[in-house]
Structure 1
Amino acid sequence: MSTYNFGNRPADFAPIDLRNGTPDLDTLMTVAGWLTDALRAEYPGLVACGESVQRELALSAEDGLPPNRGRIRTALETVAIGAGAGTGSLTFTQQLLHALGL
C-alpha cells in the first residue's frame, strides 16, 4: 500500500480486511466514495467510472440484490488501466477488485 495522502479519508483508514469474508455493503460503498473522490483529484476524466461503481452499489443496497459485477468490473478495470502506480485511485480500485473477487 502506498504512503501517499489520499485526501480526506478518515485517519483510521485501513485496507479492506477479507479475513472475515466479503466486507459489508456499507464498507464497499465507503471505499467506492473514496475512489470517486480520489478520481476527482487525480483523474477527472475517470470520475464517471467511480460514480458508476457507487451507483451499482447503491442500487444493490436499495433493491437487496447483489451488485452488477459486470458493470463494476468494467468501471474498475478502466480505472486500473488509466491510474498510475502509487495513486489513491489505483489503491482503492485494487481494494474493491479484491474485495469483490473480480
Structure 2
Amino acid sequence: MSTYNFGNRPVDFARIDPRNGTPDLETLMAVADGLTEALRAEYPGLVGCGETVQVELARSAEDGLPPNRGRIRTALETVAIGAGAGTGSLTFTQQLLHALGL
C-alpha cells in the first residue's frame, strides 16, 4: 500500500502491478473507492466518473460477470483528461487503466 498526500489528508491506494495478472475484484473495488474519494477532494465535478467505475465493479461482484469495460473506460478517460499531473485522481485512474488493460 502506498500513500498520496492531498493537502493534510493522506489518500491510501493499493499498488497494482499488471505483470502479476489482473488483480482480484476486491482490489479493483478498493482502488475505485480511492479514486472516488480523491475526485471528491480534487475534482468534485468528476465524482460521477468515479461512481460509474464503482457501480460497474459492484455489478460485476453481484452477477459474477466481467465488468462493463466500455463504461469503465469512458469514465476513466474522462478523468484522465480532466485530472492534473501529480494528483491522486490521476494516479488512481492510471492504476485502474493498467490493471484492466484499457
TM-score, normalised via structure 2 length = 0.89
Partners of 2:64 and 2:55 in 1: how far apart? 14
Q: Give the aligned length.
A: 98
More strand as a share of residues: 2
Match of 1:45 in 2: 45
Task: Confirm whether residue 91 of structure 1 aligns to residue 81 of structure 2.
Answer: no
Q: Higher RCO, 1 or 2 (CA under 8 Å, sep at least 6)?
A: 1
Aligned equivalents of 2:45, 2:54: Cα separation in 1: 16
1:9 Cα deviation after fit? 3.9
Change (3 A) 1:62 1:82: same
Please give the per-residue CA displacement for 1:51-91, whole angstroms capped at 9, x wherever unaligned: 00000000000000000000000000000000000000000
Render the CA deviation track for 1:31-50: whole Å, top value 9, x for unaligned: 00000000000000000000
Which consecutive residues of structure 2, in runs of 5 or more, have no partner in the other structure? Answer: none
- Name stretches of at least 5 consecutive residues in structure 1 with no aligned partner: none
Q: Identity across aligned pairs (percent)?
A: 85
In the superposition, the TM-score normalised over structure 1's length comes to 0.89
CA RMSD in angstroms, aligned pairs only: 1.6
Residue 20 of structure 2 corresponds to: 20
Determine the C-alpha separation between the residues in 1 that align with 2:17 and 2:26.
14
What are the residue-to-residue correspondences of 1:1-102 with 2, within 5 Å?
4-6=4-6, 7-10=9-12, 13-102=13-102
Conservation of the 8 A alpha-carbon contact between 1:4 and 1:86: no
